[in-house]
Amino acid sequence: MTALEIARHLSDQILRPMKAVFVGKEEIIDVMGIALAGGENLFLHGPPGTAKSALVHELARRLDARAFDYLLTRFTEPGELFGPFDIRRLREGDLVTNTEGMLPEADFVFLDELLNANSAILNSLLLVLNERVFRRGRETRRLPALLVVSASNHLPEEEALRALFDRFLLRVHCGYVPESELAAVLEAGWELEKSRRTAPPSAGLSAHDIRTLQEALPTVDLAPIRSPYLELVARLRAAGMEVSDRRAVKLQRVIAASALMCGRQEARVSDLWVLRCIWDREEQREMLAAMVQETLNKDAPGSGDHPQAHGGSAPDPESLARDLEVLADGWADLAPGVAKDRLAALAARVPWVRQTETREALQEKVEALWRRAEA
């Protein structure tokens, strides 16, 4: 199969059936598909019981690839992830790891509660995530990992763990589904329980196929989005988002992956939707989504756009009101350009608030801040 055929197969035979099973998780499943096609690490954040692990296990189950998953604790040792030393070689004086069935041989890696990692395995994990390299003593080898996913119900606080978190290019929040969808969740969950008693569905996609898809990323023409991408990155930096040069370069891979998943070898402005998934803190999600959506709105929707380009969720009114208050309180401490940029980002979210009275109240706050900006 060609790369475009593989991308279509991944979308139609794996991602779409998963969406039918996991109600209300469409965005998360699409981001998982983009991370897999782009070969970039993905971090799932959300409270317990929101199907984070189930989503990852189901994706691995539907792929014909070697999978490794492990729940980390503060006491996890390197051997539990990478394998024990080979006793036979150790007797001969060689420190060689027996990696059979362990992380170094896996195509698909899931590290649950990664932020529990201790210093004993931190450096090894950083190499795995950043360079796909396993190093232990004098032993060094390239890893076949196509995708590394982690999940946690909290975000990092320690500096060392923030460095680990930074290696995950894409982040997506996994929350509880709305009460209106709970009945559908119960029914779909029961069907999933029954399906797990049978052989996993064969989608006909192997690790070799996914590798072919990833190798096709450089063939995507990014010239059409270069200017709006640079402008968006500059605006995000001005608004306080930490978009390093390294992250800006790597994000091109998932932009290209979005194009391939839509059957295109030329990127569009709509492919920039993936930048909604680069937040560092919970409070950044709303502002980031607004700024990205503002960029997407400058381009007319097309039939070949990724569905997530126009499928952003409605903003949380309480969060929006809180962000406006924080901006108002700190207005004097911000440079005029930065303050206006943040206000524009928040203002772009207001029209999407569903409740009329709440939307009008928020609009009044926005207009008051604009008058302050022009004073």
For residues 240 and 354, membership in a common domain is answered with no
Q: Does pLDDT of 84 surpass 90?
A: no
Region of residue 183 (phi > 0: left; psi between -120 and 50: alpha; otherwise: beta): alpha
CA distances, 372 to each of 325, 328, 332, 340, 351 (Å): 13, 9, 11, 10, 21
* Any domain includes 356: yes
For residues 357 and 246, membership in a common domain is answered with no
Q: In terms of residue numbers, what domain contains 364?
A: 317-374
* Any domain includes 143: yes
For residues 41 and 138, membership in a common domain is answered with yes
Q: Does pLDDT of 105 surpass 90?
A: yes
Q: Give the mean pLDDT of 267-278.
A: 95
DSSP calls for 178-247 = PGGGHHHHHHHHHHHHHHTTSPPPP---BHHHHHHHHHTGGGSB-GGGHHHHHHHHHHHHHTT----HHH
For residues 165 and 54, membership in a common domain is answered with yes
Q: Give the mean pLDDT of 66-89.
A: 86
Q: What is the pLDDT of residues 208-257, one digit of tens each?
A: 999 999 999 999 999 999 999 999 999 999 988 889 999 999 999 999 99
Q: What is the pLDDT of residues 172-187, one digit of tens each?
A: 999 888 777 778 878 8
Q: To the nearest whole percent, how much of the chain has pLDDT over 90? A: 49
* Any domain includes 57: yes
* Any domain includes 209: no
As a whole number of angstroms, the distance between CA 194 and CA 192 comes to: 5
Return the amino acid letter for 271: D
For residues 340 and 234, membership in a common domain is answered with no
Band of pLDDT at residue 335, cut at 50, 70 and 90: confident
* Any domain includes 207: no
* Any domain includes 249: yes
Q: What is the pLDDT of residue 24?
A: 86
For residues 112 and 156, membership in a common domain is answered with yes
Q: Does pLDDT of 18 surpass 70?
A: yes
For residues 140 and 191, membership in a common domain is answered with yes
Answer whether 230's CB lies under 8 Å from 223's CB. no
Q: What is the CATH number of the domain that holds 170?
A: 3.40.50.300
* Any domain includes 85: yes
* Any domain includes 172: yes
For residues 288 and 233, membership in a common domain is answered with yes
For residues 242 and 270, membership in a common domain is answered with yes
For residues 297 and 227, membership in a common domain is answered with yes
Domains held by the chain: number: 3
Q: Identify the domain boundary among 195, 226, 246.
A: 195
Give the HSE-up count for residue 308: Cα atoms under 13 Å, Cβ half-sphere.
26
CA distances, 69 to each of 19, 151, 201, 210, 328 (Å): 22, 11, 20, 19, 46
For residues 55 and 165, membership in a common domain is answered with yes
Q: What is the pLDDT of residue 312?
A: 52
For residues 79 and 188, membership in a common domain is answered with yes
